[in-house]
Amino acid sequence: MSTSSDNTSIQAQAAAPDSREKPQSRFSGWFFAFLRWREHHIKEKNFVLLLAFLVGIFSGLAALVLKFLIHYISEVLTAGINLESGNYIYILLPAVGIVLTALYVRYVVRDNISHGVTRVLYAISQNKSRLKRHNIYTSVIGSSVTIGFGGSVGAEGPIVYTGAAIGSNLGRVFRMSPRILMILVGCGAAAGIAGIFKAPIAGMLFTLEVLMLDLTTVSVMPLLIASITSTTIAYVYTGYEFEFFFAQTEGFYTSRIPYVILLGVVSGFASLYFTRVMNMMENFFGRFKNPWLKTLTGCCILSGLVFVFPPLYGEGYGAIEGLLGGDTSSIVNGSLFYSDRNSVWFLAVFIGLIILTKAFATSSTNGAGGVGGTFAPSLYVGCMTGFLFAFIINHLGFIELSTKNFALIGMAGVMSGVMHAPLMAIFLTAELTGGYELFLPLLIVSTISYGTIKIFEPYSIYTMRLAKRGELLTHQKDQAVLTLLKINNVIETDFLPVYPEMTLKDMVDTIAKSKRNLFPVLNENRELIGVVLLDEIRNIMFRPDLYRRMRVSTFMSIPPAKIEIGESMDKVMKTFDDTGAWNLPVVENGRYVGFVSKSKIFNSYRRVLRHYCDD
């Protein structure tokens, strides 16, 4: 779609009179003059700070627009709903929102904008931190409709995608290098989280733990500036109140620490369950060939779940505020079971079922064509898990725990496990609620939850897709550099091919023309069937009596391995280590492409390492 609009713009400019071309060229001249002036008068590290400030402003405004649209759409649609009984409108609204979003994505955007955080990670590791221009606004529109109509997802993934796209495109406008683009993408993501949650520290930690950017002297100041600027924008326009109201009316005592430790383990398994169900449902929806059948299936699952369990409607922040405020009965408001709200064990079963079904509701929303993230759902599941844990302990008579405190602590526990980001979970929970007095239990539950899920899942819900394909950029610089290297950039193609029916005389003539000591043997379809090493035929190549008698097929050898085009560099290096070879052929569907050598890889490795680690 963007290509079509670009072509139209070019044609329009070509048809325009000269008077219209001059302002455009004059502006371009001024801009490039400014770039040259900046290069000579403003150091890059100082200019990055200015760009980070701009990214913080734009990302903060984008977060405000997203929150406003979601709340406005939701309020308009649910203004007349009676919360004291089952509401059949819950069957319709989420499905309508998903269908509208799917139509928008398919026919207007014409690009996949789901899995925002994963796509940001992919852009960092595989696309030189370049994100498309439309990503600045398309996720905002798509997620506003999805969540506003009741989709059971969060707005945080889309705002991360939006902020990262703002940083990437702003950096490209000013012709910044890929290394600086990576920092600006991180600034945009951090500013998005900071702006939507009013959580500057959590925003920066999200970039470090989830996007896995290194905390260096170059990156720390831009990340802080972007996060603080975005948070300031949020404070100016929405006030200084915390995102979730939480008043700690019950103290936390050291005698509760064993129960916090136990909640950490429970949160770890809740995170594991949430992650596994999300992956299972993603695979389920991935098997659909007909996109509209997939949309219909997802809508039916989501609408049914929301109708039975109204707290699954939308982001679920109303339910979180209710539990943090000590309101234990409002959780069943709007459900078919409103009359049973005073039953203790029914309430426990009801909340337990919500915890189990939230992952299905979230994955169905995204799988059907909606646009949203898993940030809010993980907070939601954590709050429910912590509350249910304390609720059951209290009614079993072991000890009296504060359900409010444990609901807040559970938020950090499940988020830590799902995101594999314990520090971010700690600070985000504290900044969201103002629950800094519970910092010790937040530390304990986040650490234990993270350690628990790490045993079963080495990667977070965002990174596992890329890790399986070897496309994940990590804090390990050796692994990160290998990820940044591409096999296409190290292929050498100046090897002269030979053919199996060629004689030794033809082989000698080819050797005389070549600067290499290695020759690929190809058939008529240019498929690689072997190689000839100069060292292996040196003893016969000067015997004229064999020139007509011996053919290439008699002295060629089979290479120890073949590299398939598109393989990750990590896998390529493992192949070199396993075979002990110095050169290996590269093929594409069996057809010869070229050779890749260790020396070429090492030279590229050193170049990228110097660039990547330059502070």
Provide DSSP, 470-486. T----S-HHHHHHHH--
Q: Across residues 281-299, what is the average pLDDT?
A: 93
Whole-number CA gyration radius for the chain: 29
pLDDT confidence of residue 400: 87
* Dist CA 576 CA 99 (whole Å): 49
| 532: enclosing H helix or E strand | strand 528-533
Of 82-91, 138-147, 487-496, 504-513, the range with the lowest mean pLDDT is 82-91
Question: What is this structure's pTM?
Answer: 0.76
User: Is the CATH number 1.10.420.10 carried by domain 481-612?
Assistant: no
**Is the predicted pLDDT of residue 177 greater than 90, yes or no?**
no
The tens digit of pLDDT for each residue in 52-66 reads 999 999 999 999 999
Question: What pLDDT score does 57 carry?
Answer: 97
Give 283's contacts (C-beta < 8 A, 6+ positions apart): none
Rounded to whole angstroms, what are the CA distances from 55 to 6, 62, 131, 179? 25, 10, 14, 16
pLDDT digits 0-9 by tens, 404-420: 999 999 999 999 999 99
Separation CA 437–CA 249 (nearest Å): 11
In whole angstroms, what is the distance from residue 50 CA to residue 41 CA? Answer: 14
Which of 255, 274, 275, 248 shows the shortest CA–CA distance to 407? 248
User: Per-residue pLDDT averaged across 297-310, rounded?
Assistant: 90
- Residues 370-387 have a mean pLDDT of 93
Non-local CB neighbours of 126 within 8 Å, separated by 6+ positions: 471, 483
**Residue 120 corresponds to which tokens in the numbers above?**
């940001």
- Residue 469: pLDDT band (50, 70, 90) is low
DSSP secondary structure letter of residue 155: S
- pLDDT of 216 reads 72
Residue 608: pLDDT band with limits 50, 70, 90: low
Distance of CA 394 to the CA centre of its chain: 39
Average pLDDT value for residue range 371-386 = 93
Is residue 452 predicted with pLDDT exceeding 90?
yes
For residue 334, the model assigns a pLDDT of 57
**What pLDDT does residue 53 have?**
97
Least confident of 2-11, 204-213, 552-561: 2-11
Q: Choose between 85 and 148: higher pLDDT.
A: 148
* Res 154 pLDDT > 80: yes
Q: Which residue has the higher pLDDT, 58 or 335?
A: 58
For residue 487, the 8-state DSSP code is G
Residues 6+ apart with CB under 8 A from 404: 246, 248, 249, 250, 323, 324, 325, 326
pLDDT tens for 3-48 read 333 333 333 333 344 443 444 456 567 877 877 887 778 888 889 9
Phi and psi torsions of 249, nearest 5°: -95, -10
Residue 23 is predicted with a pLDDT of 46
Q: What is the CATH number of domain 254-467?
A: 1.10.3080.10
- Phi/psi for 129 (5° steps) reads 65, 30
For the record, the structure tokens of 505 come out as 């005389």
As a dihedral over the C-alpha atoms of residue 65, residue 66, residue 68, residue 71, rounded to 10 degrees, the angle is 170
The counts of H helices and E strands in the chain are 25, 5
Neighbours of 594 (CB within 10 A): 18
Which residues neighbour 263 within 8 Å (Cβ) at sequence distance 6 or greater? Answer: 385, 386, 389, 406, 409, 410, 413, 445
Q: Among 26-30, 174-178, 183-187, 388-392, which is the least confidently predicted range?
A: 26-30
Mean pLDDT on 480-491 = 65
Quote the tokens at residue 169: 């495109």
pLDDT in the model for residue 1: 37
SS3 594: strand
Instruction: Tell me the percentage of the chain whose pLDDT exceeds 70.
Output: 85
Contact of 360 with 281, CB cutoff 8 Å: yes
What gap in Å lies between CA 178 and CA 432, rounded to an integer? 33
The answer to which of 136-140, 238-242, 377-381 has the lowest mean pLDDT is 238-242
Q: Is pLDDT larger for residue 255 or for residue 299?
A: 299
* Statement: residue 191 has pLDDT above 50: yes
Residues for the chain: how many in total? 615
β-pair type (563-564, 583-588)? parallel
Pairing of strands 563-564, 528-533: unpaired
Question: Across-strand partners of 506?
Answer: none
518-522 vs 528-533, strand pairing mode: antiparallel
Of 119-128, 170-179, 362-371, give the lowest mean pLDDT range. Answer: 119-128
Contacts of residue 412, Cβ cutoff 8 Å, sequence gap at least 6: 382, 425, 426, 428, 429, 442, 445, 446, 449
CB 313 within 8 A of CB 150: yes
Q: How many CB atoms lie within 10 A of CB 293?
A: 10
Kindly list the strands in the beta sheet with 583-588, ordered across the sheet, starting from the edge strand earlier in the chain. Answer: 563-564, 583-588, 591-597
Specify the CATH number of the domain 39-238. 1.10.3080.10
When mean pLDDT is compared over 67-71, 334-338, 347-351, the highest value belongs to: 67-71
* Average pLDDT of the chain to the nearest whole number: 84
Of 101 and 494, the one with more pLDDT? 101
Q: What is the DSSP string of 294-309?
A: HHHHHHHHHHHHHHH-
- pLDDT winner (highest mean) among 30-39, 133-142, 174-183, 456-465: 133-142
